[in-house]
Amino acid sequence: MQASIQVSARPEVQYLLRIGDTALILGQRLGEWTGHAPVLEEDIALANMALDLIGQCRAVLTHAGALEGAGHDEDQLAFLRDERDYRNVTLVELPRGDFAVTVVRNAMMATFFKLLWQRLAGSRDAELAAIAGKAVKEARYHQQHAADWLVRLAGGTEESRRRIDKAVAQLWIYHAELFADDEVDAHADESGLGPRWSALKEGWFAEMGEIFAEAGLTMPPAVSFLSTGKRGVHSEHMGFILAEMQQLQRAYPGGVW
């Protein structure tokens, strides 16, 4: 069994891990639909979006490893950390649920990522800016696609509307974590690495509001619940997804494609 690695607690490394891990886990969840989506076209679309996210994650984790300077590559960072050392937001690790859950989460996350990449394209870190310049174009298509489906399902049948309402009720409370700042955000902001995530909140609410209005949905009221995935304290679902992701690399140390 391959031993776990420890990663630097330096804020710039942590900031990048939050981005890379969030893309990684969402990509893994979307990949679960391959062969299971309700229609063939959507199977292809979800796999394509998963591929974009994994590609973005690879670039960001590689860069995190370079900044850390401890010789960790993308595979070691993706597969050899313990649960507490993953920095993804809790929202993306929740089970993929039914198609409505996937659509609502994709709309929330693609909107967030688009706004984040837009800001990161102006990062003082040239490599991160370059990664973001590419990723933002991809995220736009993801957001458009998720919004299309959200509107279609919300205005579809009684059953599709019931499922969308249920998905929104289930997922909405996890959005607060996206915009909860801490010392990692403060450091990124001061050093010019990237924005405080709270700075994206207003834009996110504006665009989600536009999507909800078009879909005829009401945005749920704010609640005080705050998930803590990006601080490494995850939901009960995280261990299972890591077990599936890490099994090969742990069983065959150093295995490559």
Partner 1 sequence: MVTRTERAWDVLGGVLDPEVPALSVRDLGIVRDVIDHGEELEVVLTPTYSGCPATEVIEESVLSALREQGLGPARATLRRAPAWTTDWISQDGKRKLREYGIAPPVIPAEAGTQGVRLFRRKPESVSCPRCGSLATEQSSAFGSTACKSLYRCLACREPFEYFKPL
- Residues of the shown chain interacting with partner 1 in the complex, contacts defined by CB under 8 A: 41, 44-45, 48-49, 51-56, 58-59, 126-127, 129-131, 133-135, 137-138, 140-141, 143-145, 147-148, 151, 207, 210-211, 214
Of 51 and 173, which CB lies nearer to partner 1 in the complex structure? 51
Answer yes or no: are the C-beta atoms of 53 and 19 closer than 8 Å.
no
Answer yes or no: are the C-beta atoms of 237 and 97 closer than 8 Å.
no
Answer yes or no: are the C-beta atoms of 174 and 90 closer than 8 Å.
yes
Three-state secondary structure call for residue 236: coil
Residue 9 CA neighbour count, 13 Å, CB half: 4
Of 79 and 117, which CB lies nearer to partner 1 in the complex structure? 117
Residue whose pair of structure tokens reads 């069994």 in the numeric block:
1
- Its sign, for the CA torsion 60, 104, 140, 190, is negative
Provide, rounded to whole angstroms, the least separation between the CB of residue 228 and partner 1. Answer: 28
- Report which DSSP code applies to 225: -
Provide, rounded to whole angstroms, the least separation between the CB of residue 12 and partner 1. Answer: 19
Answer yes or no: are the C-beta atoms of 130 and 121 closer than 8 Å.
no
Of 236 and 257, which CB lies nearer to partner 1 in the complex structure? 257
Answer yes or no: are the C-beta atoms of 63 and 151 closer than 8 Å.
no
Provide, rounded to whole angstroms, the least separation between the CB of residue 180 and partner 1. Answer: 26
Q: Which two tokens stand for residue 40?
A: 């063939």
Residue 78 CA neighbour count, 13 Å, CB half: 28
Provide, rounded to whole angstroms, the least separation between the CB of residue 53 and partner 1. Answer: 7
Provide, rounded to whole angstroms, the least separation between the CB of residue 133 and partner 1. Answer: 4
Provide, rounded to whole angstroms, the least separation between the CB of residue 127 and partner 1. Answer: 7
Could you give the CA distance from residue 195 to residue 222 in angstroms, rounded to a whole number? 23
Of 141 and 179, which CB lies nearer to partner 1 in the complex structure? 141
